[in-house]
């Protein structure tokens, strides 16, 4: 099992993910994504969901219209691990690709 990142390591990792923030108490990281419309938001969720299933590491998220709020934590470790950092990077990549090319 991946170990929970300590406070210093977590802050260091987040420096490379500037759109993400650490939840009060350090239990999770969060980011809000905004898309052009609902189909694009849902397409993002579909792409991230398939990757999450492959990794066996799943997001907590909430969608309203073109907004998706994502919360990442590793339940097995009781905090944020490298698995969350990897999934955050992937979600950012999917988002960047969709913004660049809405048909991607």
Question: Residues in the site for ligand H2B, rule: CB under 6 A?
Answer: 56-58, 74-76
Other beta carbons less than 10 A from residue 89's beta carbon = 14
Dist CA 46 CA 52 (whole Å): 10
**Min separation Cβ 23 and ligand H2B, Å:** 14
**Min separation Cβ 1 and ligand H2B, Å:** 8
**Min separation Cβ 52 and ligand H2B, Å:** 8
Backbone angles phi, psi at 56, to 5 degrees: 55, 45
CA distances from 79 to 19, 20, 23, 71, 93 (A): 19, 15, 10, 11, 23
28 vs 40, beta carbon nearer ligand H2B = 28
**Min separation Cβ 43 and ligand H2B, Å:** 21
75 vs 100, beta carbon nearer ligand H2B = 75
Q: Tell me which DSSP letter residue 17 carries.
A: -
47 vs 74, beta carbon nearer ligand H2B = 74
40 vs 81, beta carbon nearer ligand H2B = 81
* Tokens 């919360």 sit on residue: 71
């Amino acid at each position: 099992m991946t170990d929970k990142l300590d406070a210093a390591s977590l802050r260091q990792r987040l420096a490379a993910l500037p759109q993400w923030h650490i939840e009060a108490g350090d239990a999770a990281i969060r980011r809000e994504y905004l898309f052009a419309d609902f189909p694009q938001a849902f397409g993002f969720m579909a792409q991230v969901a398939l990757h999450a299933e492959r990794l066996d590491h799943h997001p907590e998220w909430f969608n309203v219209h073109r907004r998706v709020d994502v919360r990442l934590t590793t339940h097995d470790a009781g905090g944020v691990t490298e698995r969350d950092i990897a999934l955050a990077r992937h979600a950012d990549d999917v988002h960047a690709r969709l913004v660049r090319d809405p048909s991607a």
